[in-house]
Structure 1
């Protein structure tokens, strides 16, 4: 079990992050005209606006919430006088609210894509994989709320924080030890979340990078348009 735990939480994070960064760079370099979200508004606009807003507000909030919550050193919270139980309560309420918003938005987008014949016709297999993967990851995350309430002292949260901070400081092998006693539901959520980074370069999610790569994107080669004769 320790070997499996070491692989998935001590080695796998680096595999996922390597594919995430290298794959994104290669796709941007070789397939710049696939660097988009494949807008489907012209095909069918029903429920797009509401679903899109709820999904993006939820998922962006969850991303930065996880980023700050997991990577802020414990000593910072202690210095600010915020107890582990208080931080966990904040995480549960904010994460739960954002998670529900994201789930509603994602459900609307999935329903829209799968029930519209025009959208279904242009939906790629990877689009379906991505939607299902995000949905499962989200449901697992929401399910961990119940376990978090049971561990209201914040002990599990501190273990997750230590693991994440060891990973980003290249001490993954040591960090994996913190997750040995963590409930399997948390581990499943972490695995699904890390795998999102792994499949990221092969999906329409690459458009997320556009905000960071705007300058380089504007310098891409001209698109050649040839009329049919």
Structure 2
């Protein structure tokens, strides 16, 4: 039997988070374009350290995002002939690898932001909050593998298929929160954390994702001139 709490967190909350995600992003773009940036603090840290931390974090997170999107919302793996067991094996191996990579990079970024006085001074509270929340979400995501891997070893993919149907019901605006009643708690916590990332998105530096600089790698150098003029 579906409970009111289950209905709220998995039937209503995803749409609250999604609405704030979209509407909040539009409002912030219209009213605060000066703050529509990643607020990079790279100049304040060791270049080599920052390169490793940032690259590990972004590679891991983007891989996880694309994996979740293709795995839950498309049939691309089935088009390549993978059966549900093979699908879960691929999801588990890729998820663990990308998750560990992102976790290493994220922890490096968090330690730098907290322990480096210059970076900490230049940080806003939300910079730390969103990074911590992403790492918490990542922790629970990695934690699901302690359930997922033993299941797939016994060719049990019922939880994965249930989650796929649930996520697609949300995307199709026909939410079926009753589907997640029987899945392990750690999956539910991970999903709640993931929905909350969307809710926090417009209030954080994550908004720069909307304007991903696809020409970043080939753009010319930017010329920066000081406002201080030499006195002759």
Q: What TM-score, normalized by structure 1, do the two folds share?
A: 0.87
1:218 is aligned to: none
| Counterpart Cα distance in 2 of 1:20 and 1:213 | 22
Aligned length: 212
| Residue aligning to 1:55 | 57
1:84–1:155: 8 Å Cα contact kept in structure 2? Answer: no
Q: 1:180 to 1:31 in 2, by over 3 A?
A: same
**1:123 CA drift (Å):** 1.5
Three-state SS of the structure 1 residue aligned to 2:144 is helix
Contact 2:73 2:164 in 1 (8 A): yes
Deviation at 1:43, TM superposition (A): 1.7
Q: Note the C-alpha offset of 1:151.
A: 1.9
CA–CA distance in structure 2, aligned partners of residues 16 and 199 of structure 1? 8
C-alpha distance in 1 between matches for 2:58 and 2:19: 25
Q: Hey, what does 1:126 align to over in structure 2?
A: 126
Corresponding residue for residue 163 of structure 2: 160
Partner of residue 14, structure 2:
13
CA RMSD of aligned residues (A): 2.0
Structure 1 residue 45 displacement after superposition: 2.8
Flag structure 1 segments of 5+ consecutive residues without an equivalent: 215-225
Residues 213 and 99 (structure 1 numbering): CA distance in 2 closer, same or farther, change over 3 Å? closer
Q: Deviations over 1:44-79 (max 9, x none)?
A: 235111000010000001001001111125xx7556
**How far 1:94 moved relative to its partner?**
0.4
Give the direction of change, closer, same or farther, for the CA distance of 1:48–1:182 in structure 2 (3 Å limit).
Answer: same
**Runs of at least 5 residues in structure 2 that lack an aligned partner in the other structure:** 216-226
Structure-2-length-normalised TM-score: 0.86
CA deviations on 1:152-177 (whole Å, 9 max, x unpaired) are 121100000000000010101xx211
1:97 Cα deviation (Å)? 0.4
Task: Give, in whole Å, the separation in 2 of the partners of 1:127 and 1:78.
Answer: 39
